[in-house]
Structure formats: structure tokens, C-alpha cells
Structure 1
Amino acid sequence: MKRAQQYQAASIAVLAGWLTDHPDEETRWRLIAEFLEEYRHEPSSARMSLLAMEPPSTGDTRWDVFLAALAEHLAARDGAGAPSWTETRRLRRFWFPFNTPAARVDAFVHAPASFRRRGVFIHPQELEVA
């Protein structure tokens, strides 16, 4: 008899693989929403393990930095420090993933600190889509 595989939430390293496999922006945002939904449903005691392992490069520095900012943001929300691998990831030029004039202004004003200090400007609401 075949044993059923136990469900396990995706880690941020798994998310990096998904982003690498799906280069179109719309799909990437859906995958991020899926990751955030799984993360939220995990017990707080298990969440840091989903952020601990450094994700491989997605092939796009912007998304690699986004993952570091996301890991730090989620850890801070849970009252924990950022995983050590996040410290070295920064952009040299600002990136506005949602690049309309209104979205740029809104993101510039409201971006969470972990994103802003890395040069990624995103409105916090974009992280609440799930």
C-alpha cells in the first residue's frame, strides 16, 4: 500500500525555484501569493524554518533581492530577526515592480522598511493579496 505524502508548506527557497521556472510577471505574483497563503497557515513555530535556507538565484537580481526583503519582512512580522543570508542582497537602482505613476508614489511612501532599504518599492497591500 502506497503511503500518502504529508503536506509541507513551501519554503522561500522553493519559491525561488518557482519564480525561475515561471518568468512571466503575472504568474510570479500568483506564486508569491500562494507562498504567502501557505506561510500564513503555518504555525508561528514553523514559519522561520520556511525562511532559513538561502534561496538559489532566480536569474534576475531584482527578484533575488525581493526574496531577501520578503524574508526579512515576514520574520519581522513574526517578531524574529532576518535570516543571515538576507543581509547581502541589495539593488543598485530602485525597482518599482508595479510601475505606474500612482503606484510608484504610493510604494515610495509606504514600502515596508525591509524592501525600501534594499531598493525595492512595493506597497504593503501587494503582500496581502493572498
Structure 2
Amino acid sequence: MSTHIRDTRTRRGLTIYDLADLLGVTAGAVSQMERSERDDSIRISTLKRALKAMGAELSTGTADAPMDARHLMTARAAAGYIAAELAIDDENAALRIAVQAIEHFRRARTREEIRDFLRVPASTGDDRWDTLLATAIAWDAKRRGIRAPSWTWKPPLATEWLPATPGQPAERYLEMIRQSAEPEFLEKGILMRDRDLAVA
């Protein structure tokens, strides 16, 4: 007797109706799948299909699929995308990617997805952007009660930096940003506010 479908559905916070929508079947069909699994009469192909629809895979137990199986960015992917945008001088796009990476990190639901997200990324090719990405991840991890990996610690920047801002902004504007900047970023020399890290 196993309950992989029901257990995975519960972990994902899905109702029978949610899973039915994902599979394109009725809620009654999902109930029957769960009963068949409990009775050891479910087909392996049906079990695999139900788990895959919820972002999990069948092995000796159930293993959660990595982030990219749910089309979510990891820190490694984010660093690569940021590097590509910096190579064409598009800092606005690089900043959007960093913010989107944090949003994707927030969608990591299981330990495996969190571990996958937090694996060490390559450098973006720019110390400022490496520090921004690492600090943003550590900042969000702290708020979620997740232990940030050691690679997210970076030394403070030599010069204060307001990301994706061309030229030299007026001192009055910089001071306004400093006043509301997140302390973790400020101590790294990065002028970032909480609202700057929200997906628009």
C-alpha cells in the first residue's frame, strides 16, 4: 500500500480538484487514482503521470523534481542570465533577472527544490552583481528561516552602488534611498529597498 499521490498533493497544498485540473480529468478520477494506489492496483504509468503533474518523480520513494522541471530559475541560472545581460550592457534586464530569481526562490517548496536553487552559481563576471545576487538570496533566506549557504557571504563593495542607474544620481536622491534601504544591502554598499526586490 502506498499513498504517493495523496502525500505529494498534500505537500504541494493541492486539492483533488487542483490535481484534476492539472491532469485534465475529473475529481472523481483523482479519487479513484488515490484509492487504486492505496489498494496496490494502480498502474505505474498512471502513478508517474499524476506525480509528474505535481512536479515530482517516482523512484524508490517520491523525489521532487528540480526547479527547472517547474520552469523556475535557480541561482546558477540567474547568474548566467545576468552575465548575458551585462555582456550587452543591459543592467535593467540584469536587475529584473535578479529580482525574478528571488521570486522563484520563494516558490521553492521542498527541501530538494531549495537545495537545487541554492547550489553555488558561477560568477556573473562583475563583483557588484555577484554581491547583489548573493545578498538578495541571503536576505530572502533569512526572512524564510532558511540557512543561507556560505557562498552568499560577500565582502562589502569598495564604492557605494545603486544598481541599474546610469550616471551619478543626485546626492539628495541617494540619501532618500539610503534611508529606506534594507540593512543587509546597505552594509554591502548596495542601495536596495524592499520594494526594489518585488516583481512588478
TM-score, normalised relative to structure 2: 0.55
Matches of 2:184 and 2:116, distance apart in 1? 18
For 1:40-59, list aligned pairs within 5 A: 40-43=106-109, 45=111, 48-59=114-125
Report SS of the residue matched to 1:129. Answer: coil
**Does 1:12 find its partner at 2:78?**
no
Q: Counterpart in 1 of 2:128?
A: 62
Report SS of the residue matched to 1:6. Answer: helix
1:83 to 139, 142, 149: 149
CA apart distance, 1:129: 2.6
| Residues 69-104 of structure 1, C-alpha deviations (whole Å, 9 max, x = no match) | 111111111012321112244311111125433542
Distance 1:47 1:71, change over 3 A: farther
Report SS of the residue matched to 1:54. Answer: coil
CA apart distance, 1:50: 4.8
TM-score, normalised relative to structure 1: 0.80
For 1:1-130, list aligned pairs within 5 A: 6-23=69-86, 24-43=90-109, 45=111, 48-97=114-163, 99=165, 100-101=169-170, 103-130=173-200
Report SS of the residue matched to 1:22. Answer: helix
Give the structure with higher Rg (CA): 2
**Amino acid aligned to 2:102:** L
Distance 1:14 1:65, change over 3 A: same
**Amino acid aligned to 2:177:** A
Runs of 4+ aligned structure 1 residues displaced above 3 Å come to 44-48, 98-103
The answer to whether the 8 Å contact 1:13/1:55 transfers is: yes
Segment drifting more, 75-84 vs 94-103: 94-103
The answer to whether the 8 Å contact 1:68/1:89 transfers is: no
Aligned-residue CA RMSD (Å): 2.5
CA apart distance, 1:13: 1.6
Long gaps (5+) in structure 1: none
The structure showing larger relative contact order (alpha-carbon pairs under 8 Å, at least 6 residues apart) is: 1
The answer to whether the 8 Å contact 2:92/2:164 transfers is: no
The answer to whether the 8 Å contact 2:78/2:101 transfers is: yes
The answer to whether the 8 Å contact 1:71/1:83 transfers is: no
Report SS of the residue matched to 2:153. Answer: helix
